[in-house]
Structure 1
Amino acid sequence: MRLSRMGAMFPTRLSFLRTLIRRLAAEKVTVSRPVWDMCKDGFGHAVYSLRLGSHTYSLIAVSTDLPSEMRTDRVIATAWDSAYVLYDGVPDADEITRIRAAAPKQEASRFTERDLILSRANKSVRLFAHVVAALRAGRQPDAAMVRDVGYLMRTTAVYGNGKFGIADRALIDTRPGLEGPFAAEMLTVWLIRHFTHDLVEHVGQGVLDASLKRHLGIGNSTGLGMAPFLVTHPVLLNNWMQARETALARVRAIETLGMAKQTRLKALAMRAAQHLAEWNVPDPLHQSRINTLREDWNAVCETFDFTGRRPLDGAINSVKSHSADVQELTAALMIEPFGEIVDGLAACMADPAFGHGPMPRDTDALRRAIERNFTWALAPDYDDPACCGQFWYVSEAKQEPRLGHRFKESGADLETPLDIGRRIKSLYRDLPVNTVATSDFLQSHPDHALAVARVQMAGQFPYAEIRDNLIASSCLPIDMLRCKLSFFGASKFDPKSDRWTRITLCQGAPLAVDLAQECDDWWLPVFAP
């Protein structure tokens, strides 16, 4: 639960997109397109519908003519190439008219509980134009360009859970197929990907090769707005991590592997090597990290031995001296071929009960719990400027989380309470010498209520806390982003700073036409034209 390791995580078969696609395939879901009202240049609207878990959902996609000077992935944007609503049911003409007017306005509009997810996206202008030109010329686009870019559009937000008036998660969190974390958001992204394929074919007046379509996922630009979620949803974070660690424990306990599984693991290791070879980013520092991982992974692959007793445990132990990048990629690899003992853990990754642990009955119990579970929080000197150099706050203009420099910028008086480590240490210092009931202590020290609640959870939820100082000058939010995005199923991280990144979702994922057959083999996809 250190940031440096969380920032090295890779997607696994427990990632939310993988879980969703397996559910769609199990139900042999079909996608229809009852509405397609687009001009020849691709501006207009479309509706896609599917039935999942006895409910029908529709994606309403609105494509607009966006002037180039207004196209930006920054949160300050007020217009986008396209906007989307995942709708509960099949919208009638009046509802389509309402959504066509509201969706392009995003935050500036308001929505209803029939609107489950709100999103928007911008084109990858260079690739979109190239694919259109190629199709109009009667040929397929350049394979290398498709490989290198990997998406026709990238989303800049996928909003759920009541934002701007859309439905609260409680409306859908028990529905079959959408009960898992972020399932509705992942369904939206998967359908947006289909729309981008249809749109480029419509404008290009041609048909893309299916293998190119599968490689064209959805890009995404994600910034600081996502990072605090892991702190404010500690039980969810615990459940995600515990599912992954349980999966690792299960595969490590496998006594022996048959030849088929050995061959499969080696093939997946080679796929991972090719995926790394196709992962290139503009940032020289991160590209250097990728280059190092490529070299190390190629060397590690030669040493994996899946014969003998407990071979997967041996493989994981064999990389202990390597970087966190190598270790995390190895962990993801070891889980991948064992869906029969792993996939059921996906059902444990939500937090339907908003769990919490038993309250320590008195201040002595509190002290012991802190000393047992929070030594990481007691270590820093939070009075040292280096240990408190940043502060989290919420932007008044965009209602999005931001990170400020405590000694260079104003606003620290509006700090958001993400400084869990500092709060735990403050609580520890204020515990009285004489034992008193926790309730009495909180009555006289109400400012410690949050810290006590985190201590209360620690015993029952061991992965609930990021065990690092989140206000230190050295804190890199990009590590929090990568951790969360890996659980979404993201790949090919492309950091633009330590505060925002581009990623690719659904790359290699099955198309709707693929769902009738076995289609769960797209971990770390590689280009196969």
Structure 2
Amino acid sequence: MQQDPHLIEQLAASNIRLLPLRPASQVMQLERLGSFHQSRLSFMRTLVRRMVAENWQVSTPIFDLDDQGYGTVVYQVEAKYGTFSFVLFSHYLDPEQRNDRVIANQWDLTMALCEGTVGPEQLDFLRTNVPKQEAGRVDSRVLVLSRANRSARTFDYVVDELAQGRQPNVDVIAEVGYLYRTTAAYGSGKLGMADWEKVRTKHRDFARPFAAEMFTCYMLRHFSMQQADYLAAQRSPETAVNLHLDIKRYLGIGNSTGLGMAPFLINHPLLINQWIEMRETALATAVVASETGVDRETMARLDMATQRVIQHLGEIITADERQSNSNVVVREELQALHLWLQEQAAELAITHYVWADLIQYAEQHWHIETQEVINSMLIELYPDLVDGLEEQMGAEESQQITPEMSVSELLAIIEDKYDWALAIDFSKHESVGAFWYRSEEKMEPRLGQTNIDMGMEKEMPLGIGRLVRECYDCIQDYSKISPSQNVAHFIIKNPTFSGIVARMQTMAQSRYGDIRENLVHSDVLPIYLLRCKLSFFGVSKFDPRSRLWVRNTMFQGAPLISDFGQAIVDDWQFPIKPVLTTQ
């Protein structure tokens, strides 16, 4: 539906701070952050819209696979502002060596996204180093390094069905949702790759956060289906058929995310603040847009989305009791929303209803995940109003000390902005019952039990609430002795607090950013951190395997490369099983 152009201009010209944004005390609670779902501003969604609208051209100058599907493939990508190469190596992997954990050193596929075209010399260099992943080295021509493993449950099944001239059963496909799963996508300068500053300033096509990493996973998805078609034709050239386009669109890429992602949300508060603020701005924009009334067409679109989410959640297979129960509750509450929307549709005109009322009702009566699903659906209703926010998802991340600030002013900032941290009783054992550290083998974040697990002397400074409390107590003691001194004098006397002081002074100017939770509590649920970040990536179908890691699906339901340049409806937020049409 086309939005009122006058409303678009009005909202575009408005100051974000004047919109009815939810307070940080509500949004930055860990459970709420862990209930987020992807939205129109998620990085996969914005990337796909860009590729489709700009009609990126993808060719295959090298497709050198043997009859078992092993070998080298190079895709050349002509984006709007530059040329890139996606280089992929397919290897034989002994089933006993297949391991999705970070400690693995062999994979079915290894990949690199490179700037420009790749010549024979560079290809040989990549062939030597890319399969080694962390054990190898690359140069700044590489933007992303990644690897992936086949799904043992679906890949061979799909190839066998295609070879025999049949389309795979959609119900079987739905149990997994992908042919390959990625186990890492490294970028931003790791292992010698181009750092973020180079990518952001030199390669405009990938200048948004994590765009290059998301594109790498998208190209993996493309190859997975191309390889399945190829192997089916190799096995039985007389009978083989290609995957149905509707099944291809439904297939995604699997992903397992563990604690390695968790520290990002704590270590990049200004960036997280920007992500959250743009999402909240999108929601507030939807609320403001409804203040002139919600018409029947918009109500009908919300109802269709609600029914889609109900089906989507019903198709998720998870052994996690908490997530399974949550999915059941959310479906029941959305069913109530569906029935209400049908009643509204029966009225002759709907001009009095505003989304603020729906949001308030949900907050008072429904599960927190239901609330956030509804918020995501409301954002979807106003693409013309919210899509422009995708250009504001980046942030300068410098945290600076303001040395001339008085210690009394700093104390006032802490009491105002960090009241949540001061409310935590850190004298209780459970309040400091966990600590974060990095494993020696892979330098990956881990969560240990205080005074039980080894490594406390190498604790990572992720317990922001505790650091705030310790700094506050020290400043209070200092101010009693030197009440007229400023922050510079305090830091000279207490240099270990320079980092947290810079953070507090900087974040005091931001609306969101700091997670209002004790992240070193013995019962902390890191999976909420993972889900929050993954929602901004744009994943779906969360399947927690413990409180420490979660399986999910990327790009499921997304358009294909063959859809680039065509008019599409960006409605793949909650993918559902396709009903096959004539190809």
Q: Aligned match of 1:100 in 118, 127, 148? A: 127
1:250 and 1:427 mapped to 2: Cα distance? 38
Stretches of structure 2 that go unaligned for 5 or more consecutive residues are 1-27, 234-240
1:79 is aligned to 2:106: yes
Q: Aligned match of 1:212 in 240, 247, 251? A: 247
What is the CA deviation profile of residues 77-114 of structure 1, one whole-angstrom value per residue up to 9, with x for unaligned ones? 11011111001111112212221221111011011101
Q: How far has the Cα of 1:401 moved from its partner? A: 1.1
Larger Rg: 1 or 2? Answer: 2
In the alignment, which residue of structure 2 is the partner of 1:484? 533
In the alignment, which residue of structure 2 is the partner of 1:518? 567
2:85 and 2:370 mapped to 1: Cα distance? 41
1:356 to 1:328, Cα distance in 2 relative to 1, 3 A: farther
2:502 and 2:351 mapped to 1: Cα distance? 46
- Counting only pairs closer than 5 Å after superposition, residues 92-491 of structure 1 correspond to structure 2 as 92-174=119-201, 175-205=203-233, 206-254=241-289, 255=291, 256-304=293-341, 307-309=350-352, 311-321=354-364, 322-352=366-396, 354=398, 361-431=405-475, 432-433=479-480, 434-491=483-540
- Matched residue type, 2:412: R
1:312 and 1:59 mapped to 2: Cα distance? 44
- Matched residue type, 2:514: E
1:358 and 1:326 mapped to 2: Cα distance? 42
- Matched residue type, 2:508: G
Q: How far has the Cα of 1:400 moved from its partner? A: 1.3
> In the alignment, is the contact (CA less than 8 A) between 2:295 and 2:351 conserved in 1?
no
Q: How far has the Cα of 1:314 moved from its partner? A: 1.8
1:393 to 1:73, Cα distance in 2 relative to 1, 3 A: same
What is the CA deviation profile of residues 27-70 of structure 1, one whole-angstrom value per residue up to 9, with x for unaligned ones? 11121111100011111110112122321111111111000000
What is the CA deviation profile of residues 436-466 of structure 1, one whole-angstrom value per residue up to 9, with x for unaligned ones? 1111011101111122112112322121101
1:42 is aligned to 2:64: no
Paired residues in the alignment total 529
1:82 and 1:151 mapped to 2: Cα distance? 15
Higher deviation after alignment, 356-365 or 312-321: 356-365
Q: Secondary structure at the match of 1:393?
A: strand
Q: How far has the Cα of 1:331 moved from its partner? A: 0.5
Stretches of structure 1 that go unaligned for 5 or more consecutive residues are none
What is the CA deviation profile of residues 266-322 of structure 1, one whole-angstrom value per residue up to 9, with x for unaligned ones? 111111111111112122332222122222221233234583335222221120121
Q: Percent identity?
A: 40
1:498 is aligned to 2:550: no
Scaled by the length of structure 2, the TM-score of the pair is 0.88
Q: Secondary structure at the match of 2:159?
A: helix
What is the CA deviation profile of residues 382-403 of structure 1, one whole-angstrom value per residue up to 9, with x for unaligned ones? 2321001111111121011111
1:353 and 1:470 mapped to 2: Cα distance? 22
1:88 and 1:398 mapped to 2: Cα distance? 28
> In the alignment, is the contact (CA less than 8 A) between 1:457 and 1:464 conserved in 2?
no
> In the alignment, is the contact (CA less than 8 A) between 1:360 and 1:366 conserved in 2?
no
> In the alignment, is the contact (CA less than 8 A) between 1:357 and 1:458 conserved in 2?
no
Q: Secondary structure at the match of 2:61?
A: strand
Q: Secondary structure at the match of 1:177?
A: helix
Q: Secondary structure at the match of 1:214?
A: helix
Q: How far has the Cα of 1:474 moved from its partner? A: 1.3
Q: Secondary structure at the match of 2:328?
A: helix
> In the alignment, is the contact (CA less than 8 A) between 2:313 and 2:331 conserved in 1?
yes
Q: How far has the Cα of 1:360 moved from its partner? A: 7.0
- Matched residue type, 1:464: G
1:418 and 1:348 mapped to 2: Cα distance? 26
RMSD of equivalent CA atoms = 1.5
1:340 and 1:353 mapped to 2: Cα distance? 29
Scaled by the length of structure 1, the TM-score of the pair is 0.97
Q: Secondary structure at the match of 2:363?
A: coil
2:274 and 2:286 mapped to 1: Cα distance? 18
